[in-house]
Copies of this chain bind each other. A is one copy, B any other.
């Protein structure tokens, strides 16, 4: 899995392990991440498998780096993988796992955790918006591009933003429901429910 993420980036431009790590930050982080120890190890394995070749690039100052480029074998492996039907993999979400047992903690704490999580996702959303803005400044309206790399990149970015937005909204909604629950209110909130997301969507 990780090796395909690496191949995708190297296919655009040969990079060293360190540069690769930085590229992850700016694009693939949306849906994949890895730390440097993982990346360096994987690069060596991939070289052994003939998917990439490394070449040493000396520097005046700074340590010599090894820049990796995709081989034709690597490119084939990447395309082959891209054409496979992806299977639907399960979500793993620590916050939700906790939420599932929040009846075991004091209600204020549960609510504080929801609020905290909302903030984290909000922040992440804002980072993504910043990245979007940068791309737009450089390339204009993303969806009007003729560049297929940029086009798919944009779709991915939108997906990542949708995800964060959904999460933020859910947190907000959950906190409101929880307040009602704690107060023991039933009917007062009912009229309002038609106007929030779950009133519309959950039917």
Chain A residues in the interface with B (C-beta under 8 A): 1, 4-5, 8, 11, 27-33, 78-79, 81-83, 85-105, 109-110, 113, 116-117, 120-121, 124, 132, 143-144, 146, 148-149, 151-153, 155-156, 158-163, 165-166, 169-170, 173-174, 177-178, 180-181, 184, 186, 193, 197-198, 201-202
For this chain, the copies found in one complex come to 2
**Chain B residues within an 8 Å CB radius of A116:** 85
**Is B124 within 8 A of A104, CB to CB?**
no
CA gap between A30 and B92 in the complex, in Å = 8
CA gap between A49 and B197 in the complex, in Å = 44
CA gap between A109 and B166 in the complex, in Å = 28
Q: Report which of B91, B99, B165, B193 forms a contact with A152, defined as CB distance below 8 A.
A: B99
If A27-B100, A33-B92, A78-B101 are given as contacts, then 9 extra A-B residue pairs at C-beta distance below 8 Å, sorted by A number, are A11-B104, A28-B100, A31-B97, A79-B105, A82-B104, A100-B153, A100-B156, A158-B170, A162-B170
**Chain B residues within an 8 Å CB radius of A88:** 117, 120-121, 124
**Chain B residues within an 8 Å CB radius of A132:** 202
Interface centre among A5, A99, A161 (most CB of B within 10 A): A99
Q: How far is the CB of A51 from chain B (nearest CB, A)?
A: 14
**Is A32 within 8 A of B97, CB to CB?**
yes
**Is B79 within 8 A of A86, CB to CB?**
no
**Is A31 within 8 A of B93, CB to CB?**
yes
Q: How far is the CB of A148 from chain B (nearest CB, A)?
A: 4
